[in-house]
A and B are shown apart, each in its own frame.
Chain A
Amino acid sequence: MLQSLMMGAIGGTMIGLSVAIMLLFLGRITGISGIFGGALIPTDGDRLWRAVFVLGLLVGGVSLWWLYPTAFPVDALKSMSWPVVVLAGLLVGVGTRMGSGCTSGHGICGLARFSVRSLVATVTFILAGAATVFLARHVLGLKSLI
């Protein structure tokens, strides 16, 4: 557990630096849902840099695949049920667009800026996530599914 927390802090520091670089050089908040969503829209004026950021995420992912494969629990990922994955993806897509942000935009950048909207969003999505896991695992007994 201590090792897991240490790795969490090391990775978190890298994420924090990435977000700081984006603000220092481009003056932008790094919200992955907004960056990904914008990259999908042909008329988006910021489409190019957003697509390049997503490309960076993918290249980082490929480096992990080579150098730190532990990052991807492939068997567990493969065993996820398709309908569950579709439902989860749709909810994340709709929810982050409606709520203007996800874990990075609200959770990291927003909290660091002391934004009240982001604090409300972060507390809300953590509680909603916890309630969902509680309901699925401990009430409905869907532990194998979720």
Chain B
Amino acid sequence: MNTSAMRLWVVFVSGVLFSVGLGLSGMTQPVKVKGFLDFFGSFDPTLLAVIGSATGLNVILFRFILRRPAPILEEKFSLPTKKEVDRPLVLGAVLFGMGWGIGGFCPGPALTSLASGTWTVLIFVIAMAAGSLGYLFVEKQMQSAKVSRESKKS
């Protein structure tokens, strides 16, 4: 098998493992997610066990993996390089958190739950796609407006 086919198989298996993990952990059930966020009501700590085990495992595994000069199927690691905590990061996290609290869905569980054939999940995913693409579009417009303003100045 050539590298690009192998890459896609690895990604596919990884996607299946991810969503089955989400389903078994209870995270495809909005009631459990909102239960976690309900600190002063019916608090449900399951989400902590999920993030704790997934993160804890990778605190160890990532160390070993990143000691390699390169990943197995690519020439180099592609890791985020940005370091500063800026306004879009915080404001974005606030908006995401609000949507997460209202719907009880973050992107992974929503996509996995499409398999339930429920209309509300499909609507959520379409709205999520619209939000993601819409933000990207507005950001691009603002950037090109900024560039043209700056080029006029100089």
Chain A contacts to B: CB under 8 angstroms: 1, 4-30, 32-33, 36-37, 40-41, 48-49, 52-65, 68, 71-74, 76-78, 80, 82, 84-100, 102-104, 106-113, 115-117, 120-122, 124-134, 136-138, 146
Contacts and interface: CB of A to CB of B under 8 A. Distances in A.
Contacts of A74: 116, 118
A61 to B, nearest CB: 3
Contact of B23 (A30, A64, A82, A134): A64
Given A27-B74, A77-B113, A92-B110, 12 more contacts: A14-B24, A16-B57, A37-B132, A61-B112, A80-B120, A89-B105, A90-B99, A90-B127, A91-B96, A91-B99, A117-B82, A131-B101
B14 to A, nearest CB: 5
Contact of B127 (A32, A88, A100): A88
Contacts of B1: none
A97 B132 contact: yes
Contacts of A104: 18, 106-108
A133 B138 CA distance: 29
A11 B93 contact: no
Contacts of A130: 37-39, 97, 101
A91 B24 CA distance: 26
18 contacts: A5-B46, A14-B17, A16-B58, A23-B62, A25-B71, A26-B7, A37-B133, A41-B133, A71-B28, A76-B31, A77-B113, A89-B110, A92-B103, A93-B134, A103-B106, A115-B80, A117-B82, A130-B39
B140 to A, nearest CB: 11
A52 B8 contact: yes
B70 to A, nearest CB: 7
Contacts of B145: none
Contact of B130 (A26, A90, A102, A109): A90
Given A8-B26, A60-B19, A85-B123, A120 B95 contact: no
A90 B128 contact: yes
A12 B108 CA distance: 13
A116 to B, nearest CB: 7
A132 B100 CA distance: 9
B99 A16 contact: no
Contact of B73 (A26, A78, A117, A121): A26
